[in-house]
Structure 1
Amino acid sequence: MVEVYEFTILTDTYNKLVVITDEVHKALAKSKIKNGQVTVISKHTTTGVMVNEALECLEWDITEFLERLVPEEHPYAHARMLADYGSTAGNPTGHLKSLVVGNHCHLLIVDGELDKGGAQEVYFCEFDGPAERTIKIQIMGE
């Protein structure tokens, strides 16, 4: 059996990490699946989805790491006028941070519960906000 859920989130800053584990739990509770897997995926190319510990200091470290890895002040080829779009592409760092973080995660379901570590949380990662974003949750199993 496969069930799909969708929700939107409105981010309020350019870069933001948002814990969305509760949304995954809500979708699982609505489903009839007891054993299988959950996939959480973002529908945007300048966002990410990751699993990590929800500590403010670690969130700061992750954000700082990504900023060092993908600095804003760099002559990116994507930061130019795009005739196809009719506008300037000003979000190359969002695309590159998304590439590093990834746009999805998978979790197991065992006996109707998410089988994750006690400190693990699911994050939505905004790298080009503020914006309204769509996240899909697919639950597969029996």
Structure 2
Amino acid sequence: MLKNFKIETTCNDVFAITDSVKTAVEQSGVQEGICVVTIPHTTAALTITSFWDPNGFEDLQDEICRLIPTRIDFKHQHDTPQDAAGHVKSSLIGTTLSLIVHDGKLLLGHSQGIYFLEFDGPRKREYFVKVTEG
């Protein structure tokens, strides 16, 4: 089963997508298998992290921006340095997550959630969830 989800983002923000991914797994009826979450974007990424303290999301984006700041000396896209920085961030963090489905549920840790990271924006974005048996 393949599901497509649409979201509207804001610049340098974090969006929780855990619930929609869990729902897709439940609707698939798969008891044992794999769930792949992917995005077709070059200035966004996916991650799994703790949801306990919302300040953790700010720390995450702050550190990503500290490590890969928006600057004008990128060799590509000189006219859009934020976009260029987003390409580097997206490539380093990743655009696909693979998760195990066990007993009809995602195998996530007690405090783990799935998050869409926006490095550009605002944008109309999408992500896909594919659940397969096996």
Q: Same fold (TM over 0.5)?
A: yes
Q: 2:50, 2:96 → 1: CA distance?
A: 16
Question: Could you tell me how far apart the structure 2 residues matched to 1:112 and 1:29 are?
Answer: 6
Report SS of the residue matched to 2:36. Answer: strand
CA-to-aligned-CA distance 1:46-71 (integer Å, 9 cap, x gap)? 11011011221211111111111111
| TM-score relative to the length of structure 2 | 0.92
Amino acid across the alignment from 1:98: S
Specify the alignment match of 2:130 in structure 1. 138
Alignment partners' CA distance in 1, 2:70 and 2:80 = 13
Equivalence for 2:20: 23
| Stretches of structure 1 lacking an aligned partner (at least 5 in a row) | 81-87
Deviation at 1:73, TM superposition (A): 2.6
SS in 1 for 2:41: coil
Unaligned runs of 5+ in 2: none
> What's the secondary structure of 1:128's corresponding residue?
coil
Please give the secondary structure, in 2, of the residue aligned with 1:75.
coil
Which letter maps to 2:84?
P
CA contact under 8 A between 2:71 and 2:85: conserved in structure 1?
Answer: no
> Which letter maps to 1:4?
L
**1:56 equivalent in structure 2:** 54
Q: What letter is aligned with 2:71?
A: E
The one-letter code sitting in structure 2 at the alignment partner of 1:28 is V
After the TM superposition, list the runs of 4 or more consecutive aligned residues in structure 1 that deviate by more than 4 angstroms: none
Alignment match of 1:32 (pick from 29, 34, 49): 29
Give the alignment's TM-score, normalised by structure 1: 0.87
Give the C-alpha shift of residue 78 in structure 1: 1.7
- The total of aligned residue pairs comes to 132
Per the alignment, in what secondary structure is the counterpart of residue 77 of structure 2?
coil
Residues 65-88 of structure 1: per-residue CA shift (max 9 Å, x gap): 1111111134111233xxxxxxx4
- Once the two structures are superposed, the pairs formed by residues 1-142 of structure 1 within 5 Å of their partners are 3-11=1-9, 13-54=10-51, 55-80=53-78, 88-90=79-81, 91-141=83-133
Separation of aligned partners in 2, 1:137 and 1:103: 12
Q: Among all aligned residue pairs of Structure 1 and Structure 2, give the percentage whose two residues are the same amino acid.
A: 30
